[in-house]
Amino acid sequence: MKFPIFLLLIFFWGGCSTKSVNNDDIIPAQPVSPVQHIEIYIEDYGSFYPKRLGYDTIVLGNNNYFAKVNLYDFRGKMQIAIFRPDSTLEVSGFFDNALDTFRAYSYIDNPDRDEMKISVEKYFEPLKDSIWYYFNEKGDTLKKRRYKYIISSKHHATR
């Protein structure tokens, strides 16, 4: 019993310092990574903007699917469990980071001004990695599939 109390006293004493803080001791906040503001697209389910690394619950696309994610990197590396609108688990697995930033183009026609604008949206499309589990509405495993990508010198991925 003496040992834990001794450790507690050392911790408490070290935490109660009377040292004053000056501007040299303050570490400025790190700038937000530019990839944090890029959308992550998940095929068949939609996309989302990651808010932070770690655990989160997100809504995917317009189809009311939601997911529990553990995001490791803003480029898409994550563990994910995707749920149907009725809250039953549909699929779970891992994603690896997207290989590059993709772009989608939207054309916006303004006939009154005789002009066409082009909207460019950047997004990441992560790669399925490792073992994925697919479930039916009752929660039974329909199939298990292993994904492994081999990146070739021709700049395309194969399974």
Residue 13 lies in a domain: no
Fill in the DSSP letter of residue 149: -
Does the residue 17 lie in any domain? Answer: no
Give domain status of residue 38, yes or no: yes
Does some domain include residue 67?
yes
Range of the domain at 117: 32-158
Please give the residue that has the higher pLDDT: either 44 or 157: 44
- Cα 143 from Cα 74, distance rounded (Å): 29
pLDDT digits (tens, 9 = 90+) for 74-113: 999 999 999 999 999 999 999 999 989 989 999 998 888 8
Confidence at residue 111, expressed as pLDDT on a 0 to 100 scale: 83
Cα-based torsion angle of the residue sequence 85, 88, 91, 95 in order, rounded to the nearest 10 degrees: 70
Q: Mean pLDDT, to the nearest integer, of 130-148?
A: 95
With respect to residue 2, please indicate whether it lies within any of the assigned structural domains.
no
- Does residue 56 register a pLDDT over 50? yes
* Number of domain units in the chain: 1
Reported as type and span, the H/E element at residue 71 is strand 65-71
Confidence tier at 64 by pLDDT (50, 70, 90):
confident
Q: Does residue 138 lie in a domain region?
A: yes
Number of neighbouring beta carbons within 10 Å of residue 127: 18
Is the pLDDT at 155 greater than 60, yes or no?
A: no
Other C-beta atoms closer than 10 Å to the C-beta of 36 total: 13
Q: Is the pLDDT of residue 137 over 90?
A: yes
* Residue 61: inside a domain: yes
> Which position has the token pair 């480029």?
75
Q: What is the mean pLDDT of the chain?
A: 78
19 inside domain: no
Flag whether pLDDT at 7 surpasses 50.
no
SS3 of residue 34 by DSSP? helix
Tell me the C-alpha distance between 55 and 69, whole Å: 6
Where residue 11 falls among pLDDT bands split at 50, 70, 90? very low
Q: Which two tokens stand for residue 136?
A: 């039916």
